Amino acid sequence: MHPNLISSSLGDGFDAEAVFSALFAGRDDVFWLDSGAEGISYLGSGSPMAVDAESVWDVLRAVPAGAAPGEGFRLGAVGWLGYELRAQTTGVIVARSSRYPDAAFLRVDRLIAIDGATGRAEVLALGHEWTVELVQWREQVRRLSGAVPAERRTPGLDRLDHRVAWHETDAQYLANVRACQAAIHEGEAYQLCLTTQASIAGEFDPFEVYRRLRKSSPTHHGALIRIGGVSLLSASPERFLDIDPAGAVSTRPIKGTRPRASEPAADAELAEELRASEKERAENLMIVDLMRNDLARVCELGSVTVTELLEIESYAHVHQLVSTVVGQLEVGRSPLDAVGACFPAGSMTGAPKRRATELLDGLEGRARGLYAGAFGYVGLDGRVDLAMTIRTIVLDAAGATVGTGGGITALSVPSEELAEAKLKAAALLAALGAL
């Protein structure tokens, strides 16, 4: 039997942060897919699905499909795919493992959707009718959400003196940049996305850290996902894959970064510098070509096209160079086929992808874990929306980790690459009370 979805409006005046605080903060196995002030937020809890690195693709393909298609997330599965799943998608041998699960998902059969622009809230549940139990849940959501006052103290960003331990010293990172350039000069790669990791020991409240992060770094693909004691807190600006129920696929790779400036003229100058940069444009174009190639493996012949090329998107702390590639899945191909063909995203590997991942593994000397993977949802109606796990904090009982890095080309200036990596991590470390 195909899944049947029922929904009910709760009215206006709801705030996603307040609702999450009232219903889910401090709980395990919860999620908040946060589209910011102008988008739709999806909040809820779920049951952990039995997945591991070997089974995750089959488990996600088995998420029941057939619900009436609609806009946004219409129940299904929420979670993440870690970078080391590249063993399954690229065929490389992955000898390193992180302390985090390579894959984790929640089975979601009810949720709250809140329009950030209007405050209108709706509850969505799996069922054929509003049973007594579902009505009780709906009214509990209405009562507890409505009890939260609209005015709340905004969390500060005071430094809490947490100490940061970087995986490499600055000198080691600069040496790795030069090693990437040597590999490029030798013809082993065209571009390499080199990364590093900052770690902070201690205990952190995932909700309070995420409140800080979303205040300082608003974005269209933010998230707080907590599964089995691990929390993913993201201010990701990059959509990995969006696949609608009819099989239309789009990806929006980001390559190219400049900092923001407080003075408007200087800020506009930095954006234009990014737009005109030969190095940044070449980097973006290489990743666009890689994503076109990946999508062409599962899309109809001739359907893969570039609809936006080298566009500037500006966020709270950075300007980014973004392109858009679209395609149409071949008949008989599933959305998870597209995910497997494109994972991990070329913007976090380099080109050619397989050799790039091997070179980077040797230089980085660690598992990336959740960082450089993807997170989001697989819907009952066949829609998939996954963001890149970048600009992301990962929390567990041991503390926090933050991945960061950037694309290296033959034209890279090592000191500038180090500065870019530190810039991308700065807002995340500040949210953790460390700089």
Q: What pLDDT score does 150 carry?
A: 43
**Residue 59 contacts residue 36 (beta carbons within 8 Å):** no
CB-count exposure of residue 362 (10 Å: 0-12, 13-18, 19+): exposed
Residues forming a β-bridge with 33: 42, 223
Retrieve residue 328's tokens.
């149409």
Determine the Cα–Cα distance for residues 223 and 232; give it in Å rounded to an integer.
7
Instruction: Give the active site residue among 122, 139, 203, 255.
Output: 255
Residue 15 lies in a domain: yes
Q: What is the pLDDT of residue 159?
A: 47
* Tally of structural domains, the chain: 1
200 within domain boundaries: yes
pTM: 0.93
The overall longest dimension of the chain from CA atoms, in Å, is: 68
Q: Is position 61 within any domain?
A: yes
Expressed as residue numbers, the domain containing 363 is 5-151+161-431
> Residue 156 domain-assigned?
no
pLDDT value of position 36: 87
Residue with tokens 């030798």: 186
| Angle formed by the axes of helices 206-216 and 16-23, nearest 10° | 170
Closest residue by Cα to residue 394 from 194, 233, 280: 233
Please check whether residue 429 is in contact with residue 217, taking contact to mean a CB–CB distance below 8 angstroms. no
Residue 296 belongs to some domain of the structure: yes
Is 255 among the catalytic positions?
yes
Residue 331: other Cβ atoms inside 10 A: 7
Give the separation between CA 84 and CA 103, rounded to whole angstroms: 9
Block mean pLDDT (10 aa), the chain, length 435: 81 94 95 93 96 89 77 94 96 93 96 95 93 94 71 46 90 98 96 97 96 93 96 96 95 89 90 89 90 96 95 88 95 94 95 95 98 97 95 97 96 95 95 87
pLDDT (0 to 100) of residue 435:
66
Secondary structure (H, E, C), the chain: CCCCEEEEEEECCCCHHHHHHHHCCCCCCEEEEECCCCCEEEEEECEECCCCCCCHHHHHHCCCCCCCCCCCCCCEEEEEECHHHHHHHHCCCCCCCCCCCCEEEEEECEEEEEECCCCCEEEEEECCCCCHHHHHHHHHHHHHHHCCCCCCCCCCCCCCCCCCEECCCHHHHHHHHHHHHHHHHCCCCCEEEEEEEEEEECCCCHHHHHHHHHHHCCCCEEEEEEECCEEEEEEECCEEEEECCCCEEEECCEEEEEECCCCHHHHHHHHHHHHHCHHHHHHHHHHHHHHHHHHHCCECCCCCEEEEEEEEEECCCEEEEEEEEEEEECCCCCHHHHHHHHCCCHHHCEECHHHHHHHHHHHHCCCCCCCCCEEEEEECCCCEEEEECCCEEEEECCEEEEEEEEEECCCCCHHHHHHHHHHHHHHHHHHCCCC
Is-catalytic flag, 215? no
CA 45 – CA 112 distance, rounded (Å): 10
Q: Which residues on adjacent β-strands are paired with residue 382?
A: none
Is the Cβ–Cβ distance between 401 and 230 less than 8 Å?
Answer: no
Contacts of 396 (CB under 8 A, 6+ apart): 99, 100, 229, 230, 231
- Which is catalytic among the residues 17, 84, 238, 417? 238
Contacts of 353 (CB under 8 A, 6+ apart): 90, 290, 294, 344, 346
Neighbouring CB atoms inside 10 A of 69's CB total 14
Kindly state whether residue 55 falls inside one of the protein's structural domains: yes
Q: What are phi and psi of 134, to 5 degrees?
A: -70, -35
Name the residue type at position 174: L
Question: Could you tell me the CATH number of the domain that includes residue 198?
Answer: 3.60.120.10
